[in-house]
Structures are given as C-alpha cells and as structure tokens.
Amino acid sequence: MTTKKTKKRDLEATLKTQVAVGNSTRISKLNTKGMRSIIGDSAETIQQLLESNANESALALMQKRLLQAVVDTLPFAEHTIRATKGAKGVYQFNSLITSIRELMIDMQSTRDKGAIGAEMVERIIRPAFLDIGMTLVQEEARLDAEIKDILGPEQARKLREVRKAALQRTADTIQAKYNEAKNQAIGFMQG
C-alpha cells in the first residue's frame, strides 16, 4: 500500500510541477533526463567548429541557439507571472527580455561587420582584381599584334590558340584568388 501511495504522491507532484510551468511535459522538476536542450543538441557541432578554427561559424551558431533557447523559455516565465498574478517571475521575465535584446544586438553587429567586409571587397578588392584582369587582356592584345607582325598570320593563329589556354588558366587562378580574398575579408570583419 505504501508504494502505491508514494507513486500516487510522486505522480501528483509531477503533475503540479508540469501545471506550474505551463502544462508542458518538456520541463519537469522531478525528471530532467528526457528534457530537450536546444543548446545541448548543437553542443557537439559548436565544439567541432571551434576545434577546426571555424570561430565565425561557431559564434553564429552559438548566438542563434542561445536566442532560440531564451525565446523558448520566455513562455514559461510569462505563465508563472500570470499564474501568480505578478507575485513571481517578473524579474526572470525581464532578464530574459534583456538577454534577447543583447543577443539580437550581437547578431546584428556580426551581420553589420560582414556587410562592411562585403563593401570593402566591392570598393577596394574587386576593382584591384578587375584592373589586373584588364591589364592582362590589354597585354594579350598587344602581344598578339606583335607576334602577327613577326611570325605571320598562320603561325600567329597557332600560337594564339596555345596562349589562349594559358590565359584561361591564369584567369581561373585570378578568379579563385579573388573569391578567396573576398571570403577572408568578410570572415575577418565578422571576427
């Protein structure tokens, strides 16, 4: 009989706890083993990103998960305030709101720095690479004209075909380096 009464009391305590936090089975003061954790679900991924020096990605993911966790917790604080008619939970609710604001400001700051990096790429890095490309094209045209005068039209055509493949490889390398510089500048600014 005592075990039935104990089980009944435990069940009643569990139900009271669940009602107190908003009729949710996700959070229970008696059993947290089955509780879902937004941050915990991504903890391993965040740690792997940090280990591989992908700090920007780790930071962005951590900020996102923290914001999700705080937003997910907000209804429970609100319910406590309503259930106690403002006697409990007001400070916690205000703290959660403050945390949300701070996380949103941090996320916006990260995005703004990335936008500055993108603007720097468009105003400084991209024009420099375009100048290099234009110089290569102009020099190629001058060289074609000089070769044609020296070797004659037929030999110049054959040589132009060989040089065209070399020029394409050079252009591909320049494009790859531009993309790399662009990504690194934006990543550097995001910090």
Summarised one tens digit per residue, pLDDT across range 115-151 is 787 888 888 888 988 899 899 889 888 888 888 888 8
Helices 55-83 & 90-120, crossing angle to 10 degrees? 150
Indicate the domain borders of the chain.
13-88, 114-191
- Taking the model in full, what pTM does it have? 0.48
Summarised one tens digit per residue, pLDDT across range 48-64 is 888 888 777 788 888 88
84's tokens: 């106690």
120's tokens: 């720097």
